[in-house]
């Protein structure tokens, strides 16, 4: 029985080294592309979430600024009325916003009535139902 013996004992290791030497750049390139895609996808999700959060913060700041401006306008109106020494009834009437007016037919629509009620609460006023004359 004869065993197969390579002519050079290191022939297999030389072939392996050549394979590794030739394959390594291609494997690294493929791995880099794969990892890059995964990193971009992860970063994209974080970027979208942070953009959404920043937009919400900006919206809250705008709402707070609008509320502050409205509060200042009301305070200025009150100060002007007090400076003119208006009576309490006149001051109350001047500071109370106009009621939201609905006709009887409009008030019968539940969705419209709910929206009007929510708007009235937001404005600090009431709903007034009037006849359709």
Average pLDDT over residues 101-123: 90
pLDDT of residue 8: 58
Give the chain's domain count. 1
What does pTM read for this prediction? 0.42
Distance CA 47, CA 104 (A): 51
Residue 10 in domain: no
Domain annotation covers residue 75: no
Give residues with Cβ within 8 angstroms of 95, minimum separation 6: 74, 77, 78, 81
pLDDT of residue 42: 83
Residue 133 within a domain: yes
Q: Is residue 40 part of a domain?
A: no
| Residue 74 resides in a domain | no
Instruction: Name the CA dihedral angle for 45, 50, 55, 60, rounded to a multiple of 10 degrees.
Output: 140
Q: Cβ distance 117 to 127 under 8 Å?
A: yes
Contact criterion met (CB below 8 Å) for 110 and 81: no
Q: Is residue 122 part of a domain?
A: yes
71 found inside a domain: no
Coil, strand, or helix at residue 12? Answer: helix
Residue 90: what pLDDT?
79
pLDDT in tens, 41-83: 888 888 888 999 999 999 999 999 998 998 898 888 888 888 8
Is residue 29, in this structure, part of any structural domain at all?
no
Element (H, E) at 101: strand 100-103
Is pLDDT above 70 for 119?
Answer: yes
Q: Which residue range is the domain that position 133 belongs to?
A: 97-133
């Amino acid at each position: 029985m004869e065993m197969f013996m390579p002519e050079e004992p290191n022939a297999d290791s030389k072939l392996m080294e050549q394979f590794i030497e030739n394959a390594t750049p291609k494997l690294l390139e493929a791995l880099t592309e794969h990892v890059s895609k995964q990193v971009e996808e992860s970063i994209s999700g974080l970027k979208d979430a942070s953009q959404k959060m920043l937009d919400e913060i900006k919206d809250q700041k705008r709402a707070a600024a609008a509320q502050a401006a409205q509060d200042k306008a009301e305070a200025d109106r009150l100060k002007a009325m007090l400076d003119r020494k208006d009576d309490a009834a006149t001051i109350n009437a001047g500071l109370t916003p106009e009621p939201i007016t609905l006709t009887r037919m409009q008030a019968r629509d539940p969705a419209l009535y709910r929206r009007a009620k929510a708007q009235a609460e937001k404005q600090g006023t009431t709903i007034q139902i009037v006849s359709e004359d």
